Chains A and B, each alone.
Chain A
Amino acid sequence: MAVPSYAGPLERTWYYAFRVICGLIFFFLIAPILVIIPLSFNVQPYFTYTREMLTFDPAGYSLRWYEDFFSSRQWMMSIRNSVIIGILATLVATVLGTIAALGLSRKEMPFRGLIMGILISPMIVPLIISAAGMFFFYSSVGLASTFPGVILAHAALGIPFVIITVTATLVGFDHSLTRAAASLGADPTTTFRRVTFPLIMPGVISGALFAFITSFDEVVIVLFVAGVEQRTIPREMWSGIREQISPTILAVATILVMISIALLTTIELLRRRSERLRGIRPS
């Protein structure tokens, strides 16, 4: 989109002004995330740039907040909890979600709209309401303040993402492939394992990543359903921000930003691979 040669001076000015406005908006989006990264290396316990930091004096920088983070039993415990809960919830959501997506994408599926609505609902209902409901019900069946309780709750939240990504992958799926496999004597399990699954795998993996990040970043359900034993990283950050604010949180935040960059890259690569496999040209 270059300025057309017939554009008048006013149009030209607007063209550049528009670019500047967009630049500012992108700055608004990205700057807050980048600003905290150098601050996590601050030698002072402040949340602002010191004179030493601005003059790039090495004395102004240190790794003390990272040291603090990695030597804290509480934070290490929360990493362990986040990983355990995240992986198990993802596993449950992905396995059940993928199987269900196979059924949902069949045209014979009865009550498709209604069932889809129910399965997607955890994504629509505000988290505070889900958390309140789960708190009431899970305490009455003894699941509150237990690992299985938090895992089930997080799996429920992750399922809509798995359903959406896997059914989206199945839209472009060529069903004559499974028929060909069946006509060559493969039973349904073999067909799924050897033909269907390799083709829908990118969708399954990106659904699983969405489910994992949902659990990994979730704090409202944890606040209500989890006990002290199940505190996750976001839960520790929550109390860190509310109670004893220390730059250790910035160190954790920096590590989490790095993790999200890694996840973002993975998903982008998967998307490209999936499009290539399904023969969709990048538009």
Chain B
Amino acid sequence: MAQADAASLGGAPITAMVTADGVPLKKSLAKAERRRKITAFLLVAPLLAFIIFTFVIPIGSMLFRSVDNPIIVQVLPRTVDALQEWDGQDIPPESAFAAMAEDLVEAQANRTVGRVAVRLNYEMSGARSLLTATARRADDLAAPFQESLVDANPRWGDTEIWAAIQREGRRFTPAYFVSAIDMRYASDGSIERQPENQRIYVTLFIRTLMLSVAITLTTLLLGYPIAYLLATLPLRYSNLLMICVLLPFWTSLLVRTTAWIVLLQQQGVLNDILVALGIIGDNGRIMMVYNAAGTIIAMTHILLPFMVLPLYSVMKGIPPSYVRAARSLGANPWTAFWKVYVPQTMPGVGAGAVLVFIISIGYYITPALVGGQSGQMISNLIAFHMQNSLNWGLAAALGTILLAGVLILYWVYNRIVGVDNVKLG
């Protein structure tokens, strides 16, 4: 760094300092700083682009699909237009019937009637057959179209189908979210609860939460003692025992799930042992798998390492002197443990519990394989709508609700531990 300017030698302010090539020092430093920033960013940029393409956009497309509603607008454009002014009280005007007849002819010709029929069936049961059957004979429809359509199927004379088309004749819809929380539109367009026997999703969300709480509690109950033992044993023993925790952690999920089916099924190992010991009779074999109990047992086993590892790393850092001090001050072993040791392990308990809870509310494989009917979780229903019922909008809406729940929990987790402190292995 040379002070090229002669004037600066004569007691000029320090701010006039320049580098060898005559650029003010401050500017030159800022430039170097900016260059380092750009270099750092350029190193991360390829991966960021990769994750955005392979992961962020797909998640975005799922979120979008939960409100996306293009079919009715595309296939029944004239009807949607004609119903714009309709008040929803009486039978819609003849123009709406005429528009519907015209749309049906075109939909039948373009083979798009099936899609719109399925879409409307989500809103109103029976809409599918109503549309497909009428569309098949759409060419026979003639003015006056109201009579002609009601002749074809009397349900055209009800306001229900027209109300559904008017309501869902928009590019975006909250309808999937409405069904995802067990609600539906009443005939007057207000939102009401589904009839008792059709409420599934809220029950399933609650069951998912209950199962996750149960799994979290059992992992805590089983994880706390062994984390304590591992943290207090001399290293050469604890390293050996640590393998018992890490081996399941590293073993394939499907292997562990298979193992539990083999152990717990009615003709399985555990029932055989109980029969051999004479605890139960051969015809009194207990159903331990393909129900909620199976899900809880198998998932506790699968998620136990996720509880033990954070607990262990916290317990490892707790100096034994506090408990000793408490004892020397007259606390009995239980008081010393409960009042002095346990509070110090709370960060580990929090981290482990939130981690296990987050993982278990989104779990799919194990409940699907060992859960039977009563052990199913919300993710199994998402998979069902993705693969079997093909109601992708509803699957996306359920997924969006689940994702929101997980992100909130994750935010809590981040407040407790911080993402940089996640420990592996």
Given contact pairs A128-B364, A138-B58, A260-B250, enumerate 6 new A-B contacts (beta carbons under 8 Å).
A35-B269, A103-B44, A106-B40, A117-B419, A219-B253, A237-B254
**Cβ–Cβ contact B55 & A122, under 8 A:** yes
Q: Chain A contact residues (Cβ within 8 angstroms of B): what range?
A: 35 or more
- B residues bordering A, Cβ < 8 Å? 33, 36-37, 39-44, 46-48, 50-62, 65, 222, 225-226, 229, 232-233, 235, 241, 243-248, 250-263, 265, 267-269, 272, 301, 304, 316, 333, 358, 361-365, 369, 379, 382-383, 386-387, 392, 395-396, 399, 402-403, 406-407, 410, 419-420, 422, 424-425
**Cβ–Cβ contact B425 & A108, under 8 A:** no
- A residues bordering B, Cβ < 8 Å? 1, 11, 14, 18-19, 21-22, 25-26, 28-30, 32-33, 35-36, 39, 46-49, 92, 96-97, 99-100, 102-104, 106, 108-110, 115-122, 124-130, 132-138, 140, 152-153, 155-156, 159, 161, 164-165, 167, 206, 210, 213, 216-217, 219-220, 223-224, 234, 237-238, 241-242, 249-250, 253, 256-257, 260-261, 263-264, 267, 271, 282-283
Contact (A137, B247) CB under 8 Å given A26-B241, A155-B54: no
**Complex Cα gap A140–B304 (Å):** 39
**Cβ–Cβ contact B399 & A132, under 8 A:** yes
**Cβ–Cβ contact A136 & B258, under 8 A:** no
Contact (A29, B245) CB under 8 Å given A48-B269, A253-B252, A283-B316: yes
Contact (A32, B58) CB under 8 Å given A97-B47, A124-B358, A271-B425: no
Residues of A within 8 A of B42 (CB): 103
Q: How far apart are A116's CB and chain B's nearest CB, in angstroms?
A: 7
**Cβ–Cβ contact B250 & A36, under 8 A:** no
Q: List 7 A-B contacts (CB under 8 A).
A: A35-B259, A106-B39, A110-B37, A136-B58, A137-B58, A219-B254, A263-B250
**Cβ–Cβ contact A136 & B61, under 8 A:** yes
**Complex Cα gap A20–B43 (Å):** 52
The chain A residue sitting closest to B308, CB to CB, is A29
Interface residue SS majority, chain B: helix
Q: How far apart are B423's CB and chain A's nearest CB, in angstroms?
A: 8
Contact (A220, B58) CB under 8 Å given A36-B255, A124-B410, A260-B251: no
Partner of A118, one of B48, B58, B365: B48
**Cβ–Cβ contact B43 & A135, under 8 A:** no
The chain A residue sitting closest to B41, CB to CB, is A110
Contact (A28, B301) CB under 8 Å given A22-B226, A118-B51, A155-B54: yes
Partner of B269, one of A49, A96, A140: A49
**Cβ–Cβ contact B364 & A264, under 8 A:** no
Q: How far apart are B204's CB and chain A's nearest CB, in angstroms?
A: 13
**Complex Cα gap A132–B392 (Å):** 9
Q: How far apart are B410's CB and chain A's nearest CB, in angstroms?
A: 5
**Cβ–Cβ contact A264 & B247, under 8 A:** yes
**Complex Cα gap A103–B379 (Å):** 36
